[in-house]
Amino acid sequence: MLAHIAHAQGAPSSTLVLTAERLPENENDLGRALTDALRWLGEQGLEGITKIALIGQAEHPLFDLDYRFVQVLPGDPPRFDFRGSCGHSVLSSVVVASRLGWIGKLAPEHRVRVRVLNTDDHVVCEVDECVRDKTTFTAHFLNHPSVALEELLPFGETTTDLPYSGGTIRVSAVSVGNPYLFVSGHDLGVDTKDELFADNPELFDTMTAIRRSAAAQYGWPVDGAFPKVAAVIPDGEDKLAVRAVSVPSWHPTLALTGAVCLGAARQIRGTIPYQLAGEHCEGPLEIRTKGGVTTSAAAVSGHDRDSRLSWVSVPHKAVAFTGEVTIDSLRPHVRKEDTCLLST
C-alpha cells in the first residue's frame, strides 16, 4: 500500500499519511494494521514516526479533506490513542492530499478546509508560501457558530486544584484543538526561561504525573497521550514562555494545537495563562519555546465566561514533503473490495 511521509517544522515526529478508505475503520482492526506498518517502517530505519494521519476526500460539501489522527504510543507492541488531534499532522495531510490530486496545487492564498473526525474541529489551512517541497501555512481553527468561553473549560472552572501523586497543584484545563492543562511554572519551582528549558528529569516526571491524574479525571487511560500538559511563565506583556510534555519526551517546541489552545486560554479571564500574560489582550500572544517563537491570535467578543470565541489562528507553520513508500505489510489489511481492485 502506498503511503506518504511529511514533516512539519517544530513537530517531534514526521507524519505517516495513509488513505483512510483502504484500511479498517474500527480501532482494533486498524490497530493491528498500523502495528504491522510500524514494524515494516522500523525495518527500513523509520522507527521514529509516532504520528499517523488517515485522510480521505471530504464527504461533507463544506470541506475539502476528512482527517483522522492516530497517536503512536511507543512500546512493544506499540499502542495507539485515537482521542485527540495533531495540527502539525493536519498540515502534513494537506501537502499529501495536493500531491494525490485530491485538492488543487498549493499556492499562496489557497485555503484548504479540513474536518478533523476525532474532535470535530474545523481547520482552514491557508497557504502563505510554496517553494519546491516546502509549504508554509497559517492554520485557522474555526468555531462556527462561535462558542462561549465557559464551554472551553472541561472542569467547569478557570482554575482547579488537581490532586496528583506529588500533592495538589493549581491547573487551568482548557480544550481547544486538544484538551490541555496549563500549570504555572512558579508552582513547579520554575521562575526563569533557563530553568524552564533546562534538562530537568524531575520537572518532566512531575508534569507527567499531573497529566496522568487529569487523564483519570477525564475517565481516560492514564498511559495515553491526552490530555496534554504545559508549564507556562511570563515573558513580558502578551508573551509567555512554555514547555510541554509530548510522547514520549519533551516537545521540542509546542504542538500547533497547543499554540491554538494557549491562545484561547490567554483570553479567558481567570485562567493561569490570562494571569501570567497580563490583562492587556488586544494583540496576538507571543509564545516562546525552547525551539523558537510563534504567535497565536484568538478572535473573541470579550474575556468573560459568556464571551464567545470565533477562531484562533497560528501563522508561519512550515511543512516539508519527505517522500513516499510502499508498505507491503499493509496489504493483508486492505479492505476486500480494494484487494480485488489491486488484483485486476
Confidence of residue 248 (pLDDT cuts 50, 70, 90): confident
At 16-40, the pLDDT tens digits run: 999 999 999 999 999 999 999 999 9
Residue 311 lies in a domain: no
Q: Residue 49 is part of a domain; what is its CATH number?
A: 3.10.310.10
pLDDT at 342 over 50: no
Same domain, 70 and 110: yes
Residue with cell 519555546: 289
Same domain, 210 and 113: no
Same domain, 211 and 328: no
Same domain, 184 and 279: yes
> Phi first, then psi: what are they for 228, rounded to 5°?
-85, 160
Structural domains in the chain (count): 2
Burial 264-286 (b: 16+ CB within 10 A, else e): bbbbbeebbbbbbbeeebeebbb
pLDDT at 343: 41
Q: Quick one: which of 250, 251, 255 has its CA closest to 201?
A: 250
Same domain, 142 and 158: no
**Sign of the C-alpha dihedral, residues 92, 95, 96, 102?**
positive
pLDDT at 45: 92
pLDDT at 318 over 80: yes
Q: 58 is in which domain, residue-wise?
A: 2-147+319-343
Q: Averaged over 8-14, what is the pLDDT?
A: 96
pLDDT at 74: 87
| pTM given for the model | 0.95
Same domain, 297 and 323: no
Same domain, 95 and 47: yes
Residue 86 lies in a domain: yes
Residue 110 lies in a domain: yes
